[in-house]
Structure 1
C-alpha cells in the first residue's frame, strides 16, 4: 500500500520532497486559519504558494503554477483587505456575495479558463487528459481565491468543488502528498463554509434587530 502511493518519490530529489511537505503543511495551516477567519491565512498561504510556484515550475505544470502565483498575489491583497478597520470595527466582515460580484465571478472564471487554454495550446501542453481538467479547475480556484480575499461566504463552495477534483488529479500526476493535502482541504472547506455561513447569518440577524 505504501509503495503504491509513494513509489514515484524514489526518483525525486530529496530537496523537492522536503519542499513539497513544507508547502503542504503551510497550505493546511492556511486553510485552517481561513476557516477560523484568522488573518494568518495569508502569511502561511504566502509561504505555501511561493514554494509550490517553484516546484510546479520545475515539474512543468504551468496551469498549477499560475494558480499558485495568483494565490500569492491575492494573499497580499487579502492580507491588506482583511486588516482594514473603521475604528475598532473590521471594515469588511464576512458576508454573502452580491449580484454584481456574481457577475464579476462569472467573467473571472470565463477569462481565466480562456487564458489558460490559450497558454496550453501555445506551449502544446494538451497531451494528457488532466491538462484539460487543469483549465477548468484553474478557473474554479481563481474565483474561490478572489471571493476569499473579499471575505465572501461562497468562496468555500468553489474551494470544495476544486479540492474534490484535485484529489484524484494530483494523485494521477504523481504527487501523493499534495493529493492528501487536497483531501484534508475538502473536509476543512466543508466546515469552513458552515462556520462562515453561520457567522454571516448571525450578523444579518443582529442588523435586523
Structure 2
C-alpha cells in the first residue's frame, strides 16, 4: 500500500502539465454536466484542446480526430443550451416533453428507440471501418479499441448536446473502455480520470432521471 501511495505521489509531482490540465477540466466538465450547468461547455472546450496534444503525442489518432469533433460538439452544445427551449411551433417529436412550452431551459428528455438504434448501428460500422483504416494505413496504437471509444463517444456527445438522458449509457461504456486503453498506454492520469468518470456516469444518470421526474410533475 505504501509503495502504491509513493508511486502515486511521485507520478503527481512529475506529471505532464497537459495531462494535469486535462484531468482538472475533464472532471469539471462532467461535474457541471451532472448539475446541468452551462459551464460544462467551456470546461469541455479547454479539456479538448489540451487532449489534442496528449493524443497526438501518444499516436492515438482516432482519439485525436474524436476530440476535433468534440470541439465542434462542445460549441454546438453550448449554443443549444444557451438558446434554451425552442418555441412550440418549432418543437420536434424527439424533444417534446409535457408542459414544457414555457420552459426557459432545454429539458432532459428521452431519445427515441429509432434514434438509439441508428446511433448503435452507425457506431458499430464506424468502429470496424475506422479500425481497419487505422490498422492498414497508420502506425496507430490499438486501432479498434481506439475506434470504439471514438465512435461511441461521438454518439454520447451528440446525445449530451441534445440533453437526452441516454447519453449516460454511452458514456458508461466509453469510460470502461477508455480506462483500460489509457492504462495500457501509460497515460495513467487519464486512466484515473475515466475510472472516476464511470462513477460520475452513474451519478449523472440518476441526477438527470430525478430532473425528468420533476419536469413531468410540473
User: How high is the TM-score relative to the length of structure 1?
Assistant: 0.84
Q: Deviations over 1:18-53 (max 9, x none)?
A: 111011100000000000011111100000011101
Out of 81-90 and 20-29, give the one that drifted further: 81-90
Partner of 1:121: 135
- Residues 134 and 193 of structure 1: is their aligned pair in 2 closer, same or farther, counting only changes over 3 Å? same
Write out the 4+ residue segments of structure 1 that deviate beyond 4 Å after TM superposition: 2-10
Number of aligned residue pairs: 200
Partner of 1:97: 111
Q: How does 1:14-93 map to 2 (within 5 A)?
A: 17-86=16-85, 89-90=103-104, 92-93=106-107
Match among 164, 189, 192 for residue 177 of structure 1: 189
1:195 is aligned to 2:207:
yes
- Residues 119 and 9 of structure 1: is their aligned pair in 2 closer, same or farther, counting only changes over 3 Å? farther
Structure 2: gaps (5+ residues): 88-101
User: How high is the TM-score relative to the length of structure 2?
Assistant: 0.81
Structure 1: gaps (5+ residues): none
Pairwise CA distance, 1:85: 2.7
Q: Deviations over 1:133-165 (max 9, x none)?
A: 222222221111111011010101111111112
- Look up the SS of the partner of 2:213 in the other structure: helix
